[in-house]
Amino acid sequence: MFETLVLFFIGFIILVKGADYLIAGASSVARYFDVSPWVIGLLIVGIGTSIPEFSITLASLWDGSSIGVGTIIGSNSFNLLFILGLSSLMMPIAMRKDWVWEDLIVNMGVIVLAGVLFMFPVLGDSTILGLSREEGLFLIALFVVWVIAMLKRKRAIDDVEKGDDRVFALTVSFIMILGGLVGVFIGGKWVVDGATSIALILGASEKFVALTIVGIGTSIPELTVTLRAAMKGKGSLAVGNIIGSNIFDFLGVLGVASVIREMPFDPDFTFDIVVTFAATLLLFLSMFVGKKYVLGRWHGLFLVLTYVAYLLVVVVRG
């Protein structure tokens, strides 16, 4: 038990630090080539902070574990309800109209799409619940289309200063990216092994561990980046990080993972994926209650309390 806990926590440390180095290196390369601040927030940082979920999902494939799917669902609910809720409690976040009507809508759409593909054999000839390789390729194609669309969108971003991120030499930046990738994959494997062992020892289900311990733990990079951005009044980075991370999880992570190996879906996760969709819908609707397009402190309190209520349901369910 002691060795399992040690490997589990060391794995998390390696996971988070690896993600930090990966994000720093990727951001440095982006700055070097003068990529726009919105791309940094939505794509570079948003995707970068999802690397832990990506590595854990891939690692769980080889064990036939449900931790990967549970981690993505648990992480997304935590991102939308707790992280954005806590951030707006500290500092109200002014949203842009296109974030609400374009990006949040896309976020809701990809959750619905993933849910449908999980529960119905839309593409491929698989007779089990889950994602086939054909469906994975479809998700990857949609992810590529989304990235291209983001790069083409013209935005007036004035709340993220280019001087905030350190620019390293290109060689150093690529070494950081490579080292970060190695770190998150090694850390991801240890976390999956540790979480599975802890679940068995404590008598808890893998689903419970994935939705709570691992799902929340892998959102530490998003939590750190979003809180830091919110405290500095940088809504584009705070919101872009969360939205980019969520869309990448449901299109990129699930797509790549299911192409490598068909991904089964446990029907017990149906309620949880509905909660993730409801969290996005709740965030969308809150933009029209009170001051329009502003995520205020009382919105944040409601989001955090909603997450706590969901967490209690998960705990009682086991």
When comparing pLDDT for 185 and 303, which is higher?
303
What pLDDT was estimated at residue 157?
Answer: 44
pTM for this one? Answer: 0.80
Give the bridge partners for 263, in sequence order.
131
* Segment of 56-70, 91-105, 243-257 carrying the highest mean pLDDT: 243-257
Separation between Cα atoms, residue 42 and residue 130, nearest integer Å: 28
Instruction: Return the exposure string of 222-237: e unless at least 16 CB atoms fall within 10 Å of the residue's CB, then b.
Output: bbbbbbebbeeebbbb
Contact 55, 190 (CB under 8 A): no
Instruction: Kindly compute the dihedral angle of the four CA atoms of residues 17, 159, 231, 296, in this order, to the nearest 10 degrees.
Output: -120
Separation between Cα atoms, residue 18 and residue 25, nearest integer Å: 11
Mean pLDDT of 125-151: 86
Mean pLDDT of 59-84: 85
The amino acid that residue 292 corresponds to is K
80-127 residue pLDDT tens: 999 999 989 988 888 888 888 988 999 999 999 999 998 887 877 666
In the chain, the domains with their CATH numbers are 2-317 (1.20.1420.30)
Mean pLDDT of 11-23: 77
What pLDDT was estimated at residue 305?
Answer: 96
